[in-house]
Amino acid sequence: MLLNPEHCYQALLTHDSRFDGRFYVGVSSTGIYCRPVCRVRTPKAVNCNFFPSAAAAEQEGYRPCLRCRPERAPGYASTEAGARPAHIAAHHIDAGFLEGNSLAALALQLNISERHLRRVFAETFGVAPVQYAQTQKLLLARRLLRDTQLSITDIAFAAGFGSLRRLHALFQQKYEDAPGPWRKRHARAVKAGAGLSVDDSAIDDTIEIELAYRPPYAWQAQLDFLAGRAIAGIEAVIDARYVRSVRIVRGDKIYCGWISVGHTPARQSLSVRIAATLTPVLAAVCAKLRHLFDLGCDPDTISATVGPLAATLPGLRVPGAFDGFEMAVRAILGQQISVAAARTLAGRVAAKFGTPMATPFAEITHIFPSAAEWPTDATTLSGIGITGNRVIALIELARRCASGALILEPSADIEPALTELASIRGIGDWTADYIAMRALAWPDAFLHTDYAIKKALGEANPKRVLAIAEQWRPWRAYATRYLWHSLSVKDTPNWRAV
């Protein structure tokens, strides 16, 4: 990604959060690189070098700033810079894909050549994928050293290093210091469990981190959306925090635990508590949370595209999915019935087919069944009230997800995934588009057959609805969220005039 130094410096002078995570500035006089929102004294332009990623800055020998902490910068939206393959690859890397796989395997996952992957990645992030992965692991290690009480050995494996020796070697090479002494100088006091009505003995064994976003963030609207669709026993909203059970599969190992997510508006971040049992897959958990809460979103870009729609509630996000299969099951259950009725069915599924798990939250009792665990007997499903084509669709969905024929993650190739979904009997346009919007994180998904969308637009013809929505490309998923929200707002703009 080419950066104009003059434009970047003007953005740096403003310390505007809109530019946070879009570039980094390396200061030649100090050897430090910062986020553009850093509040230290602004360096002279002649001493500034600009980079498209933290990895690119570190590749040139710069060390991360201890004040603005580049590891806390927000991520990227999935259509930025016309380089979706690079961003999809980065999503895989952030989730730890390269810890047990080669770059060739990553390229195969994206259906492109390894050479093409290297090229588009370098154009977007300024470094090779392997160098990006190394920096991400180092930054995560720094965050854990500073913000948690984990042992350095646990931190090494949590950050994705194969050994403690490897962490020591790279930390010394990049930062000219060892992890232990660095931690003694920079670690902050850690307070566990503040403000939660849970079992204190269980909450002590947690990891606490922050995940940043670009403001504004309509947190209550996001929380309300998730709460209204929460699956009993799996997820809940407790004391203004989203809480859920978690299962992450890494190779032949399964890691289970829970997460709790709250809002810290003063720090423009989400506060996350993670069960220590998930330490080995911490990177994957963070990647899933960024997707679920849409932390790569740039509200100003969205507002510029959807226009008056965004005026109703600045910072509205598109809710993602922590688990794509779980979310798709919930979507199929919700076809042609009310949200409340779909919640009831999903709760029955969790109670009957889920795996019981002890947590410090009375509301969280199970782990949702995986695709491999899904029942294949139609009678079993109809016995809990699931009927008609939904039974057939759920069994076939599970079969294809378990076999790998269908991938329901933000890294999936959109068109093949939509084609695969459409070929499943019982899955129509609405369901496929809804899954694309949430599980696949496709920002241009649009539910043109949705009753509420047609009501908000005052237009019953789906083709006409699609024609109206053309003005909101490539962010029609956000237009969908705003149109839904508009139904709860008395004074709404005239969408036809947008």
Half-sphere exposure of 297 (CA within 13 A, CB side): 28
Residue 441, classed as helix, strand or coil, is coil
**pLDDT tens profile 309-318:** 998 899 999 9
Q: Residue 147's closest CA among 181, 192, 199, 177?
A: 192
Instruction: In whole angstroms, give the CA distance from residue 471 to residue 483.
Output: 14
Asked, as a colleague might, if the bond just before 216 is cis with ω within 30 of 0, I would say yes
Tell me which H or E stretch contains 87.
Answer: helix 84-94
Structure tokens at 80: 């930025």
**pLDDT tens profile 264-287:** 999 999 999 999 999 999 999 999
Angle between helices 324-333 and 429-438 (to 10 degrees): 150
Q: What is the pLDDT of residue 87?
A: 85
Stretches in the chain below the pLDDT threshold 70: 1-2, 76-83, 188-204, 490-498
Q: What is the pLDDT of residue 81?
A: 42
Q: In what order do the strands lie in the sheet with 206-212?
A: 206-212, 269-275, 253-264, 241-250, 235-238
Q: What is the pLDDT of residue 79?
A: 53
Instruction: In whole angstroms, give the CA distance from residue 474 to residue 344.
Output: 34
Structure tokens at 196: 């939660």
Q: Residue 54's closest CA among 148, 143, 119?
A: 143
Which residue type occupies 498? V
Catalytic residues: 450
